[in-house]
């Protein structure tokens, strides 16, 4: 087993608004060396770093939009989001919860700050990921996995130095609640100052670490401040994360999908023809209808 080294540390790009409810830094796919092909199956990562939204009676959010060909994963660190879709589905993602939505053949939905939360406003901090689906599953039936904070399994690190929360995949034998189509590990490591966690994933798995809170050192020599993303090289399996101060980091590692990517707007397919079909289906109402 070899050490997996740091390929690069990406600073957060200029934030932009998605709708009026999400102020995000896009890391994947617009960041330097963070293209879809390199990061597959993590084909999009928008990070809403901690941002204060003022109180309002008109919840901010993103209007109706479709998705096809992948899964969206929303990890709520602070704040609350409500969502509704054209099949009548909906729910609330609260602090610490994870929503894993398999859009697959198509979901038309909208996402807003939860009404009561919006009335008081507050700090909002979330990660939204798009997880690519293999060709054979791109047109499967949509589904949701609403994973509550209390249902996330945890691994206690030794010496009371922190814990690793497992969203998907596993960490030292502790398995995550989310089911996935390909092999994916998605972990939240909460480390106290000086706390250390070691990770080991197959060499070919594409791997990143996002610092949500605090600051860390990777492999004992690369310092990474808050809101920065570490891209790990595919040159080994093992790496360590040590907290320079109390820290929370999101660790993603997934088996790459070696299939062509054709992406445009909210659709990620394998061919241009499939993309055109996605637009046609959306325009012709095949994703259903939902009022803004």
Partner 1 sequence: MNSTTFKRFLTTNLNVNENEVVAILDNCTTKTVKKDTFLLRKDERCKHTFFVEKGLLRQYSIDTKGKEHVIAFAPENWFVTDRESSYFNEPSVYYIQTLEDSEVVLMDENFIQLLSKKVPSFTDFNTRLLHNHIRHLQKRVNWLLSASAEERYLQFVEMYPDILLRVPQTMVASYLGITPESLSRVRKALAQKNFKK
Q: Which residues pair with 65 in a beta bridge?
A: 109
The reply to whether 286 sits near partner 1 by the rule CB under 8 A is yes
Comparison of 6 and 276: residue with beta carbon closer to partner 1: 276
Q: Which of 158, 160, 258, 284 binds partner 1 (CB under 8 A)?
A: 284
State the minimum distance, in angstroms, from the CB of residue 285 to partner 1.
Answer: 3
Span from 76-84, 163-171, 245-253, 277-285 in contact with partner 1 (CB under 8 A): 277-285
Burial class, 176, CB count within 10 angstroms (exposed 0-12 / middle 13-18 / buried 19+): buried
Alpha helices in the chain (DSSP H): 36-39, 115-120, 272-283
State the minimum distance, in angstroms, from the CB of residue 58 to partner 1.
Answer: 17
> What is the sign of the dihedral through the CA atoms of 213, 210, 248 and 160?
negative
> How many Å apart are CA 286 and CA 225, to the nearest integer?
45
Comparison of 90 and 220: residue with beta carbon closer to partner 1: 90
Binding residues for partner 1 restricted to 69-88, rule: CB under 8 A: 86-87
Span from 109-117, 183-191, 214-222, 284-292 in contact with partner 1 (CB under 8 A): 284-292
Span from 76-84, 150-158, 212-220, 276-284 in contact with partner 1 (CB under 8 A): 276-284
**Which x/- pattern over 17-56 shows residues binding partner 1 (rule: CB under 8 A)?**
----------------------------------------
User: Residue 278, SS3?
Assistant: helix
> How many Å apart are CA 137 and CA 197, to the nearest integer?
34
State the minimum distance, in angstroms, from the CB of residue 105 to partner 1.
Answer: 10
Comparison of 158 and 292: residue with beta carbon closer to partner 1: 292
Q: Are 65 and 99 in contact (CB under 8 A)?
A: no
What is the full DSSP assignment across 69-122? SEEEEEEEEES-EEEEETTS-EEEE-TT-EEEEE-TT-EEEEEEE-HHHHHH-E
Q: Which residues pair with 128 in a beta bridge?
A: 46, 74
State the minimum distance, in angstroms, from the CB of residue 102 to partner 1.
Answer: 15
> How many Å apart are CA 133 and CA 41, to the nearest integer?
7
Q: Which of 51, 144, 155, 279 binds partner 1 (CB under 8 A)?
A: 279
State the minimum distance, in angstroms, from the CB of residue 33 to partner 1.
Answer: 20
> How many Å apart are CA 250 and CA 164, to the nearest integer?
10
Span from 54-62, 111-119, 241-249, 283-291 in contact with partner 1 (CB under 8 A): 283-291
Span from 170-178, 195-203, 230-238, 262-270 in contact with partner 1 (CB under 8 A): 262-270
Where residue 257 falls (left for φ over 0; alpha for ψ -120 to 50; beta otherwise) is beta
Residues binding partner 1 (CB under 8 A): 65-66, 86-87, 264-266, 276, 279-280, 282-289, 291-292
């Amino acid at each position: 087993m070899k050490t997996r080294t740091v390929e690069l540390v990406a600073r957060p790009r200029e934030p932009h608004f998605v709708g009026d409810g999400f102020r995000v830094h896009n890391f994947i796919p617009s960041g330097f060396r963070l293209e879809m092909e390199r990061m597959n199956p993590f084909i999009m990562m928008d990070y809403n770093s901690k941002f204060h939204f003022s109180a309002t009676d008109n919840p901010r959010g993103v209007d109706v939009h479709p998705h096809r060909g992948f899964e969206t994963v929303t990890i709520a660190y602070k704040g609350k989001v409500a969502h509704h879709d054209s099949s009548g589905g909906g729910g609330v993602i609260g602090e610490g919860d994870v929503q894993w939505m398999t859009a697959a053949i198509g979901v038309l939905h909208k996402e807003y700050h939860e009404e009561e939360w919006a009335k008081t406003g507050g700090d909002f901090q979330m990660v939204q990921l798009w997880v690519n689906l293999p060709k054979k599953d791109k047109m499967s039936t949509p589904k949701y996995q609403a994973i509550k904070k209390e249902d996330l399994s945890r691994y206690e690190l030794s010496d009371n130095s922190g814990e690793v929360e497992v969203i998907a995949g596993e960490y030292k034998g502790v398995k995550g609640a989310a089911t996935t189509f390909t092999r994916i590990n998605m972990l939240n490591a909460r480390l106290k100052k000086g706390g250390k966690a070691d990770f080991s994933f197959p060499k070919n798995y594409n791997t990143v670490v996002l610092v949500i809170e605090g600051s860390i050192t990777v492999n004992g020599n690369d310092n990474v401040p808050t809101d920065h993303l570490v891209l790990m090289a595919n040159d080994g399996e093992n790496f360590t994360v040590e907290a320079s101060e109390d820290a929370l980091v999101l660790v993603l590692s997934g088996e790459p999908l070696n299939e062509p990517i054709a992406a445009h707007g909210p659709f990620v397919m394998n061919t241009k023809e499939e993309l055109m079909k996605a637009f046609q289906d959306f325009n012709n109402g095949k994703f259903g209808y939902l009022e803004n």
